[in-house]
Each structure stands twice: as structure tokens, then as C-alpha cells.
Amino acid sequence: MIADQATSHSHLTTEVLDLVLQYRRSPAETESCANSRCEECASQHADRIAHAIEQREPIIFVLPAFPGKSPNPAKVLGPHADMAERQSLAFLDSLCQRIGRIYAPGAKIVLCSDGRVFNDVVGITEENITLYQQDLLTILEELESDALIPFNLDNAFAGSSYGQMRARLMEGYSEALETIQASVRAGGDAHRLYCGLTRFLLEDATRPGMALSRTALQKECRRRAYEVIQRSQAWDRLLAEYFPRAVRLSIHPQVCGSRKIGIHLMDTQDAWLTAWHSVAVEIDGRFRLMKRAEAESLGAALIYQEGRPSHYKLEVRHGDAL
């Protein structure tokens, strides 16, 4: 390769990384490298991007996300994908288009919908996972996106029942629970993920008429958090095998130098909030994620689209702090 070409490839790699890293999701409680040109973070991903650029191939990103709507009616509008997913997917599509403007072969994001991997643990029915995945396909069609590619457990293990798919995933790719528990106890990202998941599971399980005491519920949610991590890690390994050269994205906050880039798909005040744990609220022409109960307590109006609840709209008086 001639020197000029090598320089332009490395410039392009930096530009693409800068584009993606400006949407980084970092853990709030740690000192984060807010600087989008953090060398430590860039070094984890630059080689994969540079490799694609050298080959003049699209840069492939893999994002395990969009599992299915939370079963908690205080957080979401129901089991269907709605404006929150539409805005998040439109954002990802626009990110690929922006990469395409500086690098002609462009970028693709493989959306690895992981709901089928752990829905039985988090309390979402198989039917609602199917419903949600169909909604995502409809949104992708409407966006006319050829940059976002859906991939789920059904693609990996076609022809098996859902239970068999999960069993095959765990047989082939899972780690012992004891190993996971040890890494959570060691702190860092694993511990943060465990705490975040326990919080979500507890929120989703806390509903009127609950038979379990708060303490029993907490214990149960901690056990389930380990199971979700075990399933997600198995899914992660399968994805690494299917997409060995892809740049790994995550919807969870990631510390400096992580092998994944944690990214925000939409504006939110909460580093852990995602489209499937919240509703989209339109404020001054922009969408922000909030829990449904929060949107309602602010007096936001529910907006329907095609006969289905879609999002909220909040009229802001001048001077209101949000």
C-alpha cells in the first residue's frame, strides 16, 4: 500500500470512530473519557474499521438490542414497538448514512434482537417477542433502510422450537453461573451490568397485587439478573462467531477501553434507559425517552398513530425546567 493511501485510510478510520463515539453511553459514576478522541477507546475498534476500509467493504457493526417491550405498564405503552423504537432505528439508519457520506461503501448495523434469548427470564411471552420483532421489520420497511439488518435467535437455529433454540444456544456458548458470579463480585463493568439489570427486573416485577415480599422479590431478581447475564453472554459469543470482524456496539454504558462501544440511540437523562423500557416524549419538536409514568406525571398528552398509542407530546411553557 502506498503511503498516501495508508494516511487517508487512517484519517477515515478516525473520522468514522469520531462519528460513532460522540453518542457514547458512559457509566455516570465513573470518570469517563468524555473526549471522543480517547486513544484507549479508539484502539479497541480502530483495527476492525481500518480493515473494512482497506478492503473497500461496508463497516459492519453488531448491536444486541431491541429485545421486546418491558412487561411493566408504568414504563411502556404496551407490547408493540412504537415511536421510541422508530426514533431509535431512524437514528441508527442516519448514523450509517452519515458514515456513507465520508466512506462510500458505508456501514451496516446488524440488529441482534435478543428478546428470544431471555424472554422467559424477564417475563415477556413468546407471542409478544414475535409481535415486537414483526413491528421492527415493519419500521425498517417504512424507513426504507438497507443499512439495518435484523438478526435473531430464529436465524441462528431455524427449525427448532423456541425452547430448543435457547437450549442449543446455552449448550454451545454459555459459561458456568459460578464464573459469572465471580466476575460480578470482582467489580467493574460486570458488577455495573448486574446492578443495572437487577434494578430493571425489580422495577418490572413490582406491580400492584404482588404476592412476594420486597426482600423475597429482590432475592429473586438478583438470581434472574445472573441468568440474563449468562444468556446474554452466550448470545454475545454466538454473535462473535457469526460476525468475527464486526465492531461491537452495546446499549449498556461501557467504561473506557471496553471492547464494546456503549451508544445512546435517543436523548435521555438516564444512562440505562432504552426504547423498550420507556416511551418517546416529543418536547419542542424533539423526542426524549422517559418512563411512561413520568411522562404522564408531567401532563404529557398521549398521541395515537394508526389507531395505536404511539408516544407522548409535552407542551413546554417558556421557562419550564426539564
Nearer to Zn ion, 15 or 315 (CB): 15
User: How many alpha carbons lie under 13 Å from residue 56 in its C-beta half-sphere?
Assistant: 2
Q: How far is the CB of 250 from Zn ion (least distance, A)?
A: 14
Question: What are the DSSP calls for 28-49, one per residue?
Answer: TTS-----TT-HHHHHHHHHHH
Q: How far is the CB of 46 from Zn ion (least distance, A)?
A: 12
Residue 260 is which amino acid?
K
The rounded distance, in Å, linking the Cα atoms of 243 and 38 is: 25
Residues near Zn ion, by CB under 5 A = 33, 38, 40-41, 256
Pick the closest to residue 43 from 259, 205, 203 (CA basis). Answer: 259
Q: How far is the CB of 52 from Zn ion (least distance, A)?
A: 22
Strand ranges of the sheet holding 148-152, from the earlier edge strand across to the other edge: 148-152, 107-113, 59-65, 247-250, 261-262
- Report residue 100: phi and psi, to 5°: -60, -30
Q: How far is the CB of 33 from Zn ion (least distance, A)?
A: 3
Q: How far is the CB of 260 from Zn ion (least distance, A)?
A: 12
The rounded distance, in Å, linking the Cα atoms of 51 and 13 is: 9
Residue 63's DSSP bridge partners are 111
Nearer to Zn ion, 35 or 97 (CB): 35
Residue 51's DSSP bridge partners are none
Nearer to Zn ion, 33 or 153 (CB): 33
Q: How far is the CB of 41 from Zn ion (least distance, A)?
A: 3
Nearer to Zn ion, 32 or 145 (CB): 32
Nearer to Zn ion, 33 or 156 (CB): 33
How many other C-beta atoms lie within 10 A of the C-beta of residue 49? 26
Q: Are strands 308-314 and 301-305 parallel, antiparallel or unpaired?
A: antiparallel
Pick the closest to residue 316 from 291, 290, 282, 292 (CA basis). Answer: 282
| Residues 6 or more apart whose Cβ sits within 8 Å of residue 96 | 106, 107, 108, 109, 145, 147, 148
Nearer to Zn ion, 40 or 270 (CB): 40
Q: How far is the CB of 32 from Zn ion (least distance, A)?
A: 7
**SS3 at position 95:** helix
Nearer to Zn ion, 6 or 28 (CB): 28
